[in-house]
Amino acid sequence: MQHRIVVLGAGYTGAVTAGRLARRLRREDVTITLVNPEPDFVERVRLHQLAAGQDLTPRPFREMFAGTGVALKLAKVTGVDVERKAVTLAAVDGTGQEEELAYDTLVYALGSGWNGGGVPGVAEHAHEVAGRPGALRLRERLAALEARGSVVVVGGGLTGLEIVTEIAEARPDLDVALAVRGALGDWLSDKGRAHLRKVVDQLGITVHEHTAVTAVDADGVTAADGRRLPAEVTVWTTGFAVHPVARATALELTEGGRIVVDSTMRSLSHPDVYAVGDAAMAIGPGGKPLRMSCASGVPMAWQAADAIAARLAGTKVPRVPIRYFQQCVSLGRKEGLIQFVTADDRAVERALTGRVAALYKELICKGAAWGVAHPTAGVPARRRRVVRQETGSGARAQTAAGAKAAL
């Protein structure tokens, strides 16, 4: 009987996990089902470009997973029953039909969306770029703005910096402003902050530092000190919230709803469940939780896939080193900032800036997309036999004639 592996979510982490598992295990021993509501891979790290009016290269999953054995199921996840080991799915064709999908091993990679933080008016009046639908809505709204129209981006993290500079570069006829809670780029090195300041000044972006936004309405935002920042379009980028499905399960979660996992990305409460990417709370270098990012998620996916394959094959579980090297920031199409960091993600003084940094970031983005289609980084696949079935109470050895010789 084939071991049923179900992967929920086909972002960077889910797609990489599914593809890597397909190259680690023999097709006759496993079924790998990847559940996602869209037929194409979304390059989330480029959604600011999409929102600013640029067209992205289509990346259909049918081409990406052709010949791998990964089965794509177009559906929306509405529930996970970790006791019965079944997932409830809703059709995306508008019929509202639901079905159940059973699993032996589950990989939860549903990721995150935008987080309004409970601020009044955000859900009703603000735009977001955490997913393709939101980026397309913002794209349409920006296209409708006439010259001298006003835009306020709230949030000075990586997403906020990328979308505000992209909009300002693409639409120099607009009045573009950025509201940040602290100082502009306060997590960067001195060199990084200086370059960021230079770019935003060149693009004509008005920066409101030490400005906590407490309300959003149709005409702009209100700051904690009572100031009004007029805006025809408000873009909210202050953080991410994980997909809510996990909260309705018996999985051990953090207060924020992330699944608590060990160093192999395995759930601490349910050993037949693995979680990767933004959905997982994993500890990285220096005992610090890994941040929500592609830089964390891809090595988490490698680790989860390799651990699942090793446990099913009865071999030693490898350990994938997870550490940080840099933070890559697009500042429009012509400028960029590569802030080098310590293993635990603290900025060092070394930074790459300017056109070279923009090209560097473009290579990183292309490399991330290439890595989804090539999850073993071009290393030839070595598919192992499944000799062990994982259960909720541990691993149950199965007999397989000649299995050890096939490893």
pLDDT tens for residues 79-101? 999 999 999 999 998 787 899 99
229, amino acid identity: L
272-297 average pLDDT score: 94
Band the pLDDT of 254: cuts 50, 70, 90: very high
Give the pLDDT score at 380.
Answer: 62
Q: In the chain, what percentage of residues exceed pLDDT 90?
A: 87
Q: Which of 48-52, 217-221, 379-383 has the lowest mean pLDDT?
A: 379-383
* Mean pLDDT in residue range 319-324: 92
Query: Is 406 or 160 the better-scoring residue by pLDDT?
Result: 160
Q: Is there a contact between 323 and 296 (Cβ–Cβ < 8 Å)?
A: no
CA 138/CA 216 separation, integer angstroms: 16
Q: Which pLDDT belongs to residue 389?
A: 59
Mean per-residue pLDDT, 95-117: 93
pLDDT exceeds cutoff 50 at 279: yes
Question: C-alpha distances in angstroms, 85 versus 288, 337, 386?
Answer: 31, 45, 20
Q: With cut-offs at 50, 70 and 90, classify the pLDDT of residue 238.
A: very high
Nearest to 179 by CA among 123, 122, 135: 122
Q: How is residue 115 written in tokens?
A: 């987080």
354-373 vs 294-313: helix crossing angle, rounded to 10: 30
Question: Residue 374 above 90 pLDDT?
Answer: no
Query: Residue 346 has what pLDDT?
Result: 96
* Least confident window among 139-153, 355-369, 385-399: 385-399
Reported confidence tier of residue 239, pLDDT bands at 50, 70, 90: confident
- Scored b (16 or more CB within 10 A) or e, 248-283 reads ebebebeeebbbbbeebbbbebbbbbbbbbbbbbbe
Q: Is the pLDDT of residue 1 over 90?
A: no
Across 180-309, where does the E strand assignment appear? Answer: 206-208, 213-217, 220-223, 228-230, 233-236, 240-242, 259-260, 273-275, 280-281
Give 3-state DSSP helix, strand, coil % of the chain, rounded to 5.
30, 30, 40
Separation of alpha carbons 395 and 266, rounded Å? 13
Higher pLDDT, 273 or 93: 273
d(CA 279, CA 257): 8
How much is the pLDDT for 400?
Answer: 34
- pLDDT(263) > 90: yes
Q: What is the pLDDT of residue 153?
A: 98
| pLDDT > 80? residue 63 | yes
pLDDT tens-digit map of 18-33: 999 999 999 999 999 9
Q: What is the mean pLDDT of residues 362-383?
A: 84
Q: Alpha-carbon distance 313 to 383, whole Å?
A: 10
pLDDT at 402: 33
Distances in Å between the alpha carbon of 328 and those of 162, 205, 333, 356, 394? 10, 20, 13, 12, 41
Tokens of 141: 């709204």
Question: Would you place residue 405 in the very low, low, confident or very high pLDDT band (cuts 50, 70, 90)?
Answer: very low
Instruction: Return d(Cα 345, Cα 323) in angstroms, integer.
Output: 8
pLDDT of residue 399: 29
How does pLDDT run across 136-173, given as a tens digit for each residue? 999 999 999 999 999 999 999 999 999 999 999 999 99
In the predicted structure, residue 403 carries a pLDDT above the cut 50: no
Instruction: Please state at what angle helix 190-202 crosses helix 158-170, rounded to 10 degrees.
Output: 30
Residue 392 — very low, low, confident or very high, per pLDDT cuts 50/70/90? very low
Find out whether 333 and 406 touch, Cβ atoms under 8 Å.
no
Instruction: Answer yes or no: is pLDDT of 4 > 50.
Output: yes
- pLDDT mean over 205-214: 97
Which two structure tokens, joined as six digits, stand for 378? 């071009």
Contact 276, 7 (CB under 8 A): no
Q: What is the pLDDT of residues 177-207, one digit of tens each?
A: 999 999 999 999 999 999 999 999 999 999 9
H or E element in which residue 152 lies: strand 150-154
Mean pLDDT of 110-128: 94
C-beta separation of 119 from 216 below 8 A: yes
User: Lowest mean pLDDT: which of 32-36, 306-310, 365-369?
Assistant: 365-369
**Per-residue tokens: 129:** 């770029």
Question: What is the rounded CA–CA span in Å between residue 380 and residue 387?
Answer: 22
